[in-house]
Amino acid sequence: MAGEKVKISSFGSFTVHSKAKRMGRNPKTGKPLEISARKVLTFKPSQVLRTVLNNR
Predicted confidence at residue 56, as pLDDT, reads 80
Predicted confidence at residue 4, as pLDDT, reads 82
What residue ranges do the domains of the chain occupy?
5-54
> CATH classification of 5-54, choosing from 2.160.10.10, 4.10.520.10, 3.30.930.10, 1.10.287.70?
4.10.520.10
Model pTM score: 0.68
Which residues lie below 8 Å from residue 47, measured CB to CB, with a gap of 6+? none
**Contact in structure between 15 and 5 (CB atoms under 8 Å):** yes
Per-residue pLDDT tens digits for 2-37: 558 999 999 999 999 999 999 999 999 999 999 999
- Distance between CA 2 and CA 18 in Å, rounded? 8
